[in-house]
Amino acid sequence: MKTIKERIKALERQRLEKHKQKLITVDYVSLSITIDYKKFVFSNVKQLEKELQRLNKEHPTAVVWFMGEIQD
């Protein structure tokens, strides 16, 4: 049985084949941003969000996936 991350990666690959937009995955658990499968890790949430704001200006049409821990 495929994990959720494997399913997401399969969907990402499928989407990239059809569309040439940037794909940005933001993972708040590992404090990382992945841009078309290139991973960048940050030391804190503030740095991660600052980079995300910069990427939003640079790639306004990018597809963004957010992943994180669900808190009650």
Instruction: List, for residues 4-42, the tens digit of each pLDDT value.
Output: 777 777 777 777 677 667 778 888 888 888 887 788 999
**And the tokens for 53?**
């704001």
Domain ranges (residues) in the chain: 4-67
- Rounded CA-CA distance 64/15 in Å is 12
- Rounded CA-CA distance 69/18 in Å is 30
Full-model pTM: 0.59
Q: How confident is the model at residue 47 (pLDDT cuts 50, 70, 90)?
A: very high
- Rounded CA-CA distance 39/60 in Å is 19
Q: How confident is the model at residue 71 (pLDDT cuts 50, 70, 90)?
A: low
Note the pLDDT of residue 9.
Answer: 76
Task: Name the nearest CA neighbour of 33 among 7, 17, 54.
Answer: 54
**And the tokens for 2?**
């495929």
- Rounded CA-CA distance 6/62 in Å is 21
